[in-house]
Structure 1
Amino acid sequence: MLTDVLLRLGALDHEQDAVRLVVARTLASVPLSVLAACPLTPLEGFTRAALRAQDASSATQRALQGLAWSLIDHAIATGGSPTAPARLLQAAVGDEPRLWHPPLTPGRALAATVVEALAKRLREESLAGECGLLLDLHSALGRRANGDRLLDSLLVRALDSPVAADRQGAAVAWLADPATRGERVAELVRRDESFAALRPVTDAIAAMRQDLVDILFLDRPLRGRFWHREHTYLALLPGGSHGWDPEHLASYASALRRRIDARTTTRPERHRALTSLARIPATTVEDLRPWLDDDAPDTRASALEALAHLSDPEAALREIVHHAGEDWARTAFDGAMACAARLDPAMASKILTSALSGPIRMSARKEALRILARLHRPADLPTLTGAAMARDTRPDVRVDAARAMVAWLDAPEAWTILAHVATEGRDAALALAATSPRHIADRHRQRYARLLLASAREPELITALGEWSDVLPDLPSLLEGIVRDGAPAESAAAIIAIAGHSALSADWSEHLAVLRRLARGAAIDAGPNSQAEADPPHPRRMESLVAAMIPADGASLRWHRDHLEAMSALLEDIERDSRPLGAPWAARLAATDWEDEAARLASLERLAGAAGDVSLAGEAVTTATAALERARRLRLLPGSGLPVSTADALMRRQDAAGAALALAIVITQGQALGWPEPWRDRLRELRGNGTGIIALLARRARTAAE
Structure 2
Amino acid sequence: MLAQLPVAEAGAELLAATRRPEAADRALAWPLLITNAGRSGDPAEIGRLLALCERLRNEQDPVRAPALAALAELHPGLFGPADVGALDRVVTDALEARDGSYRTRQAVTKLAVGILREHATVPESPLLAWALAALERITGQRGSISLGALQHTLRRGQEHQVLAALRPWLEKAAAVADHRLLFALTHSLGDRAHGMPELQDLLARALHHSKDAAFGTAAGLWLAAPRTREERVEQIIALEPSAVVLHTVQAVLTTRRTDLLDPLLADTPPYGRFLKPGTRPRLPDLTYAHRWQPRQQAAAARLAERAAADTTQATHSRAAAIRAARSIPLFGRQLALEYLESDEVVLTEVALAALAWADDPARELTVLLAHADGDRARVAVYAASRAARFATPRQLAEQLDGLLTGGKITTRKEAVRLAAGYLPPQQAAELLRTAYLAPGQHPDVQAAVIAAGSGLLQREEIWALFGAAATDSPHTGTALLRTRPWQLAEAHQARFARLVGQVCRTDHPEAAVAALGQLPTWARFAPETAEVLPTLVTDLTNRHTWRAAVDAVATLAGQDLPHPLGGTAPGSVLHRTVTGLLASVRAGESEALADRDLPARQRLTVLLGGLPRPDQPWIRANLTGLAELLAEQPALRVDLLLGLVDPAAGTLTVQLRELGEAAADRPALAASAARRLSTRLGRDRLPEATDPVLSAAEQLCGEGESATGLLAVGLLVGLGPQLGWPAEWRAVLRALRRHPVPDVRDAALEVETATE
- 1:619 corresponds in structure 2 to 672
In 1, Cα distance between the equivalents of 2:575 and 2:313? 74
Which residue in 1 is equivalent to 2:328? Answer: 280
CA separation in 2, counterparts of 1:665 and 1:100? 69
Tell me by how many angstroms 1:317 deviates: 2.2
Q: Deviations over 1:558-603 (max 9, x none)?
A: 5x224313422431343233872433224422xx483x5x344544
Partner amino acid for 1:646?
Answer: V
Distance in 2 separating the partners of 1:342 and 1:662: 79
The structure-2 alpha-carbon separation of the partners of 1:572 and 1:215, relative to structure 1 and needing over 3 Å to count, comes to farther
Q: Which aligned pairs between 1:476-625 and structure 2 lie closer than 5 A? A: 476-485=530-539, 490-507=545-562, 510-511=565-566, 512=568, 513-523=572-582, 524-525=585-586, 526-551=588-613, 558=615, 560-577=616-633, 580-589=636-645, 592=646, 594=648, 598-612=650-664, 613-625=666-678
- C-alpha deviation, 1:504, in angstroms: 4.2
Q: Structure 2: state its 5+ residue gaps.
A: 84-90, 95-101, 122-126, 167-179, 188-202, 207-212
Q: State the 1:3 CA deviation.
A: 0.8
How far does the alpha carbon of each residue in 1:140-198 deviate from its partner, in whole angstroms, 9 at most, with x for none? 989999988689735379999xxxxx999989997998869968996999899799677
Q: Which residue of 1 aligns with 2:182?
A: 153
What is residue 441 of structure 1 aligned with on the other side? 489
* 2:193 paired residue number: none
Deviation of 1:19 after TM superposition, in Å, equals: 12
Distance, in Å, in 2 between the alignment partners of 1:425 and 1:600 is 53
Q: Which residue of 1 aligns with 2:447?
A: 399
Superposed CA deviations along residues 425-484 of structure 1, whole A, max 9, x for unmatched, are 333322332333343333223322332332233334433445546535456543333444
Q: Quick check: 1:643 aligned with 2:720? A: no
The one-letter amino acid paired with 2:575 is: R
The amino acid of 2:382's aligned partner reads D
The structure-2 alpha-carbon separation of the partners of 1:233 and 1:521, relative to structure 1 and needing over 3 Å to count, comes to same
- Say whether 1:124 aligns with 2:134: yes
CA distance in structure 1 between the partners assigned to 2:736 and 2:15 by the alignment: 56
Q: Which residue of 2 aligns with 1:372?
A: 419
1:163 alignment counterpart: none
Aligned amino acid, residue 234 of structure 1:
L
Provide closer, same or farther for how the CA distance between residues 335 and 609 of structure 1 changes in structure 2, counting only shifts above 3 A: same
Deviation for aligned residue 1:297: 4.1
Structure 2 SS opposite 1:576: coil
Q: Are 1:217 and 1:255, in contact at CA under 8 Å, matched by a contact in 2?
A: yes
CA shift at 1:420, angstroms? 2.0
Paired AA for residue 128 in structure 1: I
2:517 is equivalent to residue 463 of structure 1: yes
Whole-angstrom distance in 1 between the partners of 2:674 and 2:68: 52
Counterparts of 1:429 and 1:114, CA distance in 2: 74
> Does the CA contact (< 8 Å) of 2:550 and 2:607 recur in 1?
yes
Structure 2 residue aligned with 1:431? 479
2:339 alignment partner, SS class: helix
Q: Report the secondary structure of 1:550's partner residue.
A: coil
Task: Give me the whole-angstrom Cα distance separating, in 2, the residues matched to 1:476 and 1:420.
Answer: 20
1:175 and 1:697 map into 2 onto residues whose CA distance is 93
Structure 2 counterpart of 1:457, one-letter code: P
Which deviations, in whole Å up to 9, do the C-alpha atoms of 1:194-249 show, x marking residues without a partner? 99677x88767755665776797686699779999953212566x66564454543
Post-superposition CA distance 1:329-348 (Å, at most 9, x none): 67434322211212222222
Task: Give, in whole Å, the separation in 1 of the partners of 2:597 and 2:26.
Answer: 59
Change (3 A) 1:473 1:422: closer
Q: How does 1:340-355 map to 2 (within 5 A)?
A: 340-355=388-403
Letter in 2 for 1:536: L
Q: 1:646 Cα deviation (Å)?
A: 2.7
Task: Please say which of residues 320-329 and 337-346 is displaced more in the overlay.
Answer: 320-329
Asked which structure has the greater CA Rg, the reply is: 2
The DSSP-based 3-state class of the residue aligned with 1:580 is helix
For structure 1, which segment, 413-422 or 217-226, has the greater mean C-alpha deviation from structure 2 after superposition? 217-226
- 2:448 is aligned with 1:389: no
Amino acid at match of 1:620: A
CA, structure 1 residues 581+701, in 2 after alignment: closer, same or farther (shift >3 Å)? Answer: farther
TM-score where L is the length of structure 2: 0.67
One-letter code aligned to 2:619:
H
Distance 1:396 1:227, change over 3 A: farther
Q: 1:446 to 1:289 in 2, by over 3 A?
A: same
Closer, same or farther: CA 348–643 of 1 in aligned 2, 3 Å: same
The corresponding residue for 2:104 is 95
C-alpha displacement of 1:541: 3.5
Contact 2:481 2:500 in 1 (8 A): yes
CA distance in 2, matches of 1:437, 1:265: 54
1:334 counterpart SS class: helix
Q: Relative to structure 1, is the Cα distance of residues 593 and 422 closer, same or farther in structure 2, using a 3 angstrom cutoff?
A: same
Partner of 1:255: 303
The one-letter code sitting in structure 1 at the alignment partner of 2:327 is: R
Question: What do the CA deviations read for 1:243-278 (whole angstroms, capped 9, x no partner)?
Answer: 445454333322211111110333333333222212
C-alpha distance in 2 between matches for 1:485 and 1:262: 73
The aligned counterpart of 1:234 is: 283
For residues 333 and 534 of structure 1, the distance between their equivalents in structure 2, rounded to whole angstroms, comes to 51
> What is the aligned partner in structure 1 of residue 348 from structure 2?
300
Alignment counterpart, residue 290 of structure 1, candidates 332, 338, 342: 338
Question: Unaligned regions of 5+ residues in structure 1, if any?
Answer: 73-80, 102-108, 161-165, 552-556
Q: In 2, distance between residues paired with 1:360 and 1:314?
A: 20
Q: Using the alignment, how far apart are the partners of 2:5 and 2:154 within structure 1?
A: 37
The 8 Å contact of residues 125 and 131 in structure 1, kept in 2 or not, is answered as no
The Cα RMSD (Å) is: 5.9
Offset from partner CA, 1:56-96 (integer Å, 9 cap, x none)? 799x9999799x69xx7xxxxxxxx9749xx9xx99x9624
The 3 A distance-change label for structure 1 pair 209 and 437 is farther
Structure 1 pair 572–143 and aligned structure 2 pair: CA distance change class (3 A): farther
Q: State the shift of 1:643 in Å.
A: 2.4
- Tell me, yes or no, if the aligned pair for 1:586 and 1:624 is still in contact at 8 Å: yes
- Using a 3 Å threshold, how does the CA distance of structure 1 residues 571 and 645 change in structure 2: closer, same or farther? closer
More deviation, 470-479/509-518: 470-479
* CA 1:11–1:18: 2 relative to 1, 3 Å: closer
Partner of 2:124: none
How many equivalent pairs are there? 653
Verify: 1:681 aligned to 2:730, yes or no.
yes
Letter in 2 for 1:360: G
Contact 1:152 1:174 in 2 (8 A): no
Closer/same/farther in 2, CA of residues 326 and 617 from structure 1, 3 Å limit = closer
Q: When the two structures are superposed, what TM-score results if normalisation uses the length of structure 1?
A: 0.71
Within a 5 Å distance, the mapping from 1:4-403 to structure 2 comes to: 7=11, 8-9=13-14, 13=18, 83=78, 95-97=104-106, 124-129=134-139, 134=145, 137=148, 153=182, 155=184, 210=258, 230-235=279-284, 241=289, 243-283=291-331, 285-320=333-368, 331-356=379-404, 360-374=407-421, 375-403=423-451
User: CA 1:65–1:489 in 2, change beyond 3 Å: closer, same or farther?
Assistant: farther
